[in-house]
Structures are given as structure tokens and as C-alpha cells.
Structure 1
Amino acid sequence: MKKTILLTFAAIVFLLSIARSQEKHTYQPVIEPCACPVKIDSSFKTRCAYLVVPENRKKNNGRTVKLPFIIVESKNPDKKKDPLLFTSGGPGAGSLGWAVGASRSQIIKDRDCIAFEQRGAGYSIPGLNGPEPGAAIKESYKKNLNKDSMVIEGVKRLRKGLEARGIDLSAYNTDETVSDIHDLLYALHIDSVNLMGISYSGGLMQAVLQRDPSRIRTLTLDSPLPTFIPIDEDEPANFNEALNILFEHVEKDSTDKARYGNLKEEFIQYFTSIGHTPFYISYLEKGTTDSIRVQYTRNDLFDIIQNYFSNPAEVPYVIKELIKGNHHDYVTQLLDGIFSGYRGPSGMRISVYCADQAAYHDEKVLRQLYNAYPYMEGYHINDVYNAMCDCWTYKPINPATKQPFYSSKPALLADGEMDNACRPLYIDMIHHYMPNSHRLLFTKRSHGVGGGQLQPFMIQFLNDPYKKLVSDNKDIVVY
């Protein structure tokens, strides 16, 4: 009996290996040299090229995508054989500019650095950007139309334009990008690589590891959004948790008790009381001579607060000013951004969020959140949400990609204490599934800790991934 079971199991493994082998050989990824889209220090040897792969691996229609990457080579003759590969977050943010910073970093002294552009983003071909959502949002302010309705109209126009170009929107998702990264490693003959991702691409890199860990040496994840997190259902709570921590710091650290003594209570009272009341501002668009009367709401005030979270120290003052009714300058700044070229979410961002999130989203949970935080009811923190996906073309990603998984691979996990998008809870959850991970909490920082303060820890980690990290900076907690 045992022998029969073993033979059956062996047969299954054999068939799976054949299927995987066949999948790999249905096409060959191609490397096509190209000019560098961004300028790198000329003292470095760089390689710029496209990875050319099928647009949709499930359709044998000959359509391909070109995904640019940049390899910045270390000048060290004794450099490590395992490069660092980075792709950006969003989804939809460009990745190639990272190569410029990498060439100026300390990391390049020991290993090559690779910046890889995700399909549909940045300099990839085709790109899924379009002016339609931004134009529709601008029109909603200009004519005081319902913003949500105009957003949907803009998304429909964008989809129509992209599909008219022959683009298969269902082929732009995490599963396909995971395949792209593995194809890149295969085509470049890289047997060992260190992956780095931020926000959305933190979860993307976990999915790369999940698909096939054989080439993956380490992961560095900055403010990661795990693939198994339903972010639409979490973000209202995440925003509120970040605010609560901010209010705690204000209560403890502020010397101006008269101004900031009851900021949390004042915040809740004010934003509850104004509800969906419309406000109006006389706005002069740059380059025009006639002012227009623009309507705005509580949701716009929340957007203003969110925008300032990149520098949390400024947020208490902004909140206090908004509570006092001093909206004009802040709303003008918000409108300047919208009227001067804001394009709204890209087609790539919509496609990925719809495939990754909307398909697994539960509106009942969101209603529970609004019951818990009534002053945020009707506020879309994310610029992609279910109603947009209802008029988009997408296919949900594989359910297995949405599941957490265990791995013994070493990982460096970092987040800001006041991250208003992806809470430090997420790096704790990843640590649960990746026991050989190190966690860094940057106090008084928000989403995307990156840069100079993270780099020394990255160097320590990349040199010895299993060695416990130590911090001598009281604002960076290792645990």
C-alpha cells in the first residue's frame, strides 16, 4: 500500500515537472539591447535592454511586451555574484530611476544593481498611461459634477482607448509580472539574486519567491503590502491607526498644549460634524484669467492630510488649520496639482488592483469599517476601487498567489511607525511566515522609509543575511 502511494506521488511530481518544463519552453524570453532611458554616472559600466516576453502567456497570439531594465555593474573586481534587483511599488510607479541612486550608493561597491520596469509602467512598451481619468477628475471640479461618477467615466474612456490599441488588459497583473521577473533571471543566467521591493512590490517580491525560490537569496521589503492583505478593507483602519499614533506623539511631545492638547477629539468631532457638506472656493487655474467656483468636500480634506503624511511632523499643524476652517491655501494647492497635469490612475495600476484586490474584496467588511470610523464614510483612500473594476477588463490572479506561505529565506523588513497605508503589522505578519527575517521600525516615519537610513542595515544584511542586526539609533528599532 505504502509503495503504491509512493509511486503515485512520484508520478504526480513527475507530471508536474513535465508541465512546468513545457510551460517554460512554450516561448523563449528575448533580451533586446536599447538606449538607456535614464542617465547613469558614465564611470559605471551599464547595460540597458528590453526583456521581450508574451503579453499574455495563456494566449499564443504573438503579441509581446518590452520591459526595460538597467544593470549597473559594480567596479569591484571581487564583487559578489548575487546582484540586487529592484522594482518599484504603486502599482504603476516607474522603476528605472532607482538605478541612478544605486550608482551613488554603498551597495554598488559589492554587487551589481538591476532596476526592472514592470509591464505597463514607466518606460515599458506598451505603456498603459492615459489622460482620460485625470481629465475626467479635472472636469468634475471645473463643472462641480459628481467626482465618483466622472472617475468612472474617465476609466471607461481609458479602457476603450487602450483596447483600441490592441492591449489585453487582463494580462497586466501580479502573476504575469512574477513570470516576467523569473524570465529575466533565466535570460540573464542569474543563479542567485537579492530582491528588493517597496509597498506593492514588496508583496510582488514575495510572490516571486513563492513561485520558485531556487534563485532567490534574500528579500528586502520596504513598507510592504503582502499579497494576502485585502488593502481596500484595511486602509481606512490603517489611516486611523497612523493618526492615533500621531496624536499620541502630539499629546506627549508638544509644548503647545493650548493648541494641540485635545487634537484627537477635535479631529473626530470636526470631521464627523461636517459630514458630506459641500464647501466652495474661488479658484484661478494657472494660465487663465477668470476664477471659477469649485466645490470640495471632506474627502478632499482627507486627501490633503494624506499628502502631508510624507512628512508626519507637519500633519498636526495642517489638521489644526483645517479644523479652524483655514482651507483655502491647502485646497488651492490640491487643485493646482489636479489642474496642472494630474493623470489619475494608470491602466496598469487599475488592472493590477482589480486583478489582485477587487476580485477578493468584501464590501461588507468596508461597511463595518465605516461603522467603526463614521467620519470616513464614503472616502476612497485608494484611487482604484471596486466600482472602477466593474467597468474594466481583468482576470483575478491565481488564488494561490493570495495565500500566505512559509519560507526559510532571509528577509529584511522595514516600515515607518506612522505608515498610513501599509501598517507595521504587515511586517509582523510576514515575519510570522518568514522566521529568518529581521524587522526595522522607523519611529516618526511614514510609508517608504528607504534612502540613507535603511542602506547601512541593507549592507549588513546582504553581507550576512542570518546575522542579527543591531541599531545604535534610538529612532530605528530592531526586533
Structure 2
Amino acid sequence: MPRLTTLFLIIILCIGRLSAQFVKIEQSGCDFRVDPDFLKTVPDNAKQSYTSGPSLPDSTFEKQCGYLLVPENRSKKNARMIKLPFIVVRSKNPDKRRDPVLFTAGGPGGSSLGMAAGLAKSPFIEDRDCIVFEQRGTRFALPYLRTFELDKTLKEATRRNLNKDSMAIVGLKKYKVALEKRGIDLAGYNTDETVSDIHDLLKALAIDSVNLFGVSYSGGLMTAVLQRDPDRIRSLILDSPLPTFVPIDEDEPVNFMEALHIYFENIARDSTSQQHYGGLRSLFHQYFTSIAAKTFELPYLEPGTKDSIRIKYTKNELLTIILDKLYDDSGRKELPRIITDMVNGNHQPYIRPYFDGFFRRNGAPDGMRLSVYCADQTAYHSEKVRKELDKIYPYLAGFHINDVYREMCDCWKVPSVSLNTKQPYYSAVPALLADGELDPACRPLYIDRISHYMPNSQRFLLKNKGHGVIGNSMRPIVKSFLANPYKKIMSNDVNMIAY
């Protein structure tokens, strides 16, 4: 055999072995549990929150559960291997299609595995298998990137009325050190690595055609999966997606305002509501502009303590309460009364429960969320552009809609994702795009922008809905799309606009 041919075969064999070590499945039962190394760090009062596994489909469904073993950081030689759980839920249809639906959660930082139970009740399972994949660093992945140093620091800052932004950095430094002491390489947690994980999972499961389903952050993530290797992607279903090429840190404050303005307009058009709340938009802006630099005090007894303290708060906490209600499709009807009470100086019915929840929960971001946001978003966004909005809405200055922001990322220090990942691209793969007109995070503008680059896409705007809209009302549309993703779908629902 000629020497060059022999050398070529050796190279091919070596590459094959290298690829094989990156694509490995470890079978397991479906009783996934949280990382035991993480559990050692959980405060006693929080351990109950981490004892249960994910919700699973009932026993009538056949399931395959396991871990995908991948390098923690593919850019480093001899990187340690991490374990990423997945669940394959088998369709009961004997004539099912061979192209499954793969779902992974948004956030970034959300756990995916609990969605297995939901998909088993959805139109997805009627004709094909469903796969849920837990992203690296999230709740049931090994390792789970979570500590409680930031939670403790923020609570102490609130009790002592210290500057929360400064104290957040103090807590974040401890957070980072604690994760690194567990041997975690924070540079390995970003969209580029997760895209590689998904392709490795598809290879390991021998899937050559798949439909990708993503929500919010994972909507953009799925377009990055398509961008990397489109050959095996049959279609995309994107619910309230965050495009990879959108600078959400710059956009999110105005996204909040746009959704709130539409809500105010809907109130003003409704004859019953108009009588009581017709001028709510003006009242909101006037009041929050007037208190932009003001500090309030609340006599407060923290649950489980004996001594009352005086907690200082600002418009930031009040805006958070409003934003949380705007996200809530069922609770949104309370907003006119809440805002009217706030404008009249009646904060206590809302600010006291806010602090009860703050001290009860541990709401700091997971390490995976920190790493992904810092690598994907903060590395590319313009703080100058972000601050321009403060001139229009002065009360938004210093209000962090996202719990990860520039100063935190300056401390976290992880490398950015590839510039190519942040660029839009054209694709003929069909896509179903949906969003709510009241989405305060990812505006319908985003599905319009994705559609521009995906000419075989179909868009659905759901009136009076917010973030995350693919549910029972869209069941027949999802079913029709999966059956023939190139066929134009019409809607007879007046609250669902197809375009």
C-alpha cells in the first residue's frame, strides 16, 4: 500500500476515534437527581427544593433515559467529561414518523427534563417520538452550576440597606470561586458548546432527521443548531424566540415599555376598563418619572425573625412587581388596580409580599445563565445604546430587567461565543414562529426578523398573550405544521393572527 494512502487511513481512523469519544451515551434510569456535589452546598432551609426529580410521563409511555457524555470545554485538550441527561418519550402510534421532536428549555438556565410529561400530552407525541435534553450546567446536569453566595449577599444587602449593585459583585466573586473550587471551567458553558452537545446527541441516537422545538433563549439556540449543520434538521418550532443576532441587553427595557403600552391601549379601548383606567398610561409615566430618584422605607419583619427592620426600596422594586404581572397571562388583569394603587402611594399591599418572596426564595441566577449571558450577550452589546433609553424613560436608569448585566460579566470573565453565531443567515428550512402581542421580553418584532431570513416560515401572533404561547390553543396548528411544514396554515381564531 502506498505510504500516502496508509497515512491517510491512519488520519481517518484517528479522527473517527476522536469523534467517538465525543459521542458517548451512558444509559440510566429516569429517576434523575441533582448533582450530589452541589447538594453538599445547599443551605438546610433550601434542601427541600432540590430533593425531587423531574416530572415524567406516566408508565404507559415507553422511555429511554440516559446521559450524553461530552467534554466540558471542547477548545481544551484533555478537558474533563460532563454528563447531560436526556429522555426519549416513545410515541404510541404504530405508524409514527421517524423524525422526532427535540426540545430544550429557555432561560438560559432553565431545566428541560420536566417538559417530558408535558410533551406526552401534546400534539407532538401523536405521530413521533419526543426528546427532552438538559443543557450543560442546568438543574439535572452533572455538574450543576449553582451556589448560594450571591443569594446570601443580596439578602444581607437588603437587610442592611447597602448598595445592591456593589454587593452583587461581592457575592458574585464568591460564587465564581466556589464553582471553580469544584473544578468547573466556566468558559465551557455557552451557546456554541450547547450547539455541539445537541448535534452530538443526535449522532449518538442515530437520528438523521429531527424537528427542533425551542422557547425564548432556546428558540435562538435552535437556529444556531440549524446554522451549524442543517442537513438533519427537518423543521423548527420557535415559541417567543430570542434570535442569536439580537442584543437583548439593549432591547429588553424598550420591549418592556412596548408591551406595557399595548396593554394600556387595550385597557383604554375596553369600555368597562376605560371608565376606571383610561388614563393609566399617562399616570404611570408621570408617577415613575417623579420617583425616579426617590427612596422609600418599609417597616418589615422578616419571616422567622423577631426583630423588625426598616428596608429601603426604590422604583426598581415597584417596576419589578409590574413586570412580573405583565408576564403572567392570568394575573395581568390585576395590573390596572396595582398601578393605580402605586400611583396613589399605596405600595404596601404589593411591596411587602415582594420582600416576603425575596427572602423566602433563592432567586440569584444559576452559573450557566451567567456564563451564557456573558458570553452571548454582554460580550457583544453596547452599553452606550442601552443608556440612550434612560433619556427617554428616566426611571429605567439603574433598573436591571435581566438579572445578569455588564458589571457582573466584567467580574465573571468568560470568553465570548463565536462571532459567526451572532450573525443572521438565510435558510430554506421551514419554521413555525409564534409570539404574544404582550410579550415584555422577546417582542413579535423578533419573529418578523427571523422570518426575513427564513422564507419558508409561518408566523402567528396571539392577542392578549405574553411570553411563551404554544399551548392548547395552537394544538391544531402545531399538528398541521408537523404533518406538512411547507403547507400554508390558516387560523379561524380571531385572537390568533396568521401572517
- TM-score, normalized by the shorter chain, greater than 0.5: yes
Which residue matches 1:359? 379
Structure 1 length as normaliser, TM-score? 0.94
Which residue matches 2:45? none
- Residues 88-115 of structure 1: CA deviation (Å, up to 9, x unaligned): 0000010000001111223212110111
Aligned residues with identical type, % of pairs: 56
Residues in 1 aligned to 2:354 and 2:424: alpha-carbon distance in whole angstroms: 38
Q: Does 1:32 align with 2:49?
A: no
**1:438 Cα deviation from its structure 2 partner:** 0.6
- Residues 212-253 of structure 1: CA deviation (Å, up to 9, x unaligned): 001100000000000000000001111111111011101111
- Residues 394-448 of structure 1: CA deviation (Å, up to 9, x unaligned): 1100000000000000000000001000000000000000010010101011111
1:120/1:172 contact within 8 Å kept: yes
Which residue matches 1:446? 466
**1:63 Cα deviation from its structure 2 partner:** 0.3
Equivalent residue of 1:449, what SS? Answer: coil
Instruction: Map 1:425-464 to 2 at 5 A.
Output: 425-464=445-484
**1:357 Cα deviation from its structure 2 partner:** 0.6
Alignment partner for residue 421 of structure 1, among 441, 456, 460?
Answer: 441
Q: 1:291 to 1:23 in 2, by over 3 A?
A: farther
Q: 1:68 to 1:363 in 2, by over 3 A?
A: same
Which residue matches 1:12? none
**1:335 Cα deviation from its structure 2 partner:** 1.0
Instruction: Map 1:461-476 to 2 at 5 A.
Output: 461-476=481-496
Equivalent residue of 1:440, what SS? Answer: strand
**1:276 Cα deviation from its structure 2 partner:** 2.2
Q: Does 1:241 align with 2:261?
A: no
1:135/1:343 contact within 8 Å kept: no
Instruction: Map 1:265-276 to 2 at 5 A.
Output: 265-276=282-293
Q: 1:254 to 1:421 in 2, by over 3 A?
A: farther
Which residue matches 2:95? 78
Equivalent residue of 2:475, what SS? Answer: helix
What RMSD, in angstroms, separates the aligned Cα atoms of the two structures? 1.8
2:267/2:274 contact within 8 Å kept: no
Residues in 1 aligned to 2:221 and 2:22: alpha-carbon distance in whole angstroms: 23
2:64/2:88 contact within 8 Å kept: yes
1:70/1:96 contact within 8 Å kept: yes
Moved more, 244-253 or 365-374: 365-374
- Residues 272-303 of structure 1: CA deviation (Å, up to 9, x unaligned): 00012111112222222332211111011110
- Residues 373-399 of structure 1: CA deviation (Å, up to 9, x unaligned): 222111111100010001113110000
Which residue matches 1:294? 311
Moved more, 437-446 or 328-337: 328-337
Equivalent residue of 1:420, what SS? Answer: coil
Q: Does 1:154 align with 2:171?
A: yes
Residues in 1 aligned to 2:19 and 2:129: alpha-carbon distance in whole angstroms: 28
Residues in 1 aligned to 2:273 and 2:24: alpha-carbon distance in whole angstroms: 62
Give the AA of the match of 2:368.
M
For structure 2, which runs of at least 5 residues remain unmatched after alignment?
1-11, 33-53
Equivalent residue of 1:48, what SS? Answer: strand
**1:305 Cα deviation from its structure 2 partner:** 0.6
Equivalent residue of 1:191, what SS? Answer: coil
Which residue matches 1:3? none
Equivalent residue of 2:311, what SS? Answer: strand
- Residues 156-192 of structure 1: CA deviation (Å, up to 9, x unaligned): 1110100111100010000000000000000000000
Instruction: Map 1:64-143 to 2 at 5 A.
Output: 64-143=81-160
**1:255 Cα deviation from its structure 2 partner:** 1.7
2:289/2:393 contact within 8 Å kept: no
Q: Does 1:184 align with 2:184?
A: no
Which residue matches 2:248? 231
1:96/1:117 contact within 8 Å kept: yes
2:73/2:79 contact within 8 Å kept: no
Structure 2 length as normaliser, TM-score? 0.90
Which residue matches 1:380? 400
Give the AA of the match of 1:46.
K
Count of residue pairs the alignment pairs up: 463
Q: 1:201 to 1:23 in 2, by over 3 A?
A: farther
1:350/1:384 contact within 8 Å kept: yes
Give the AA of the match of 1:378.
G
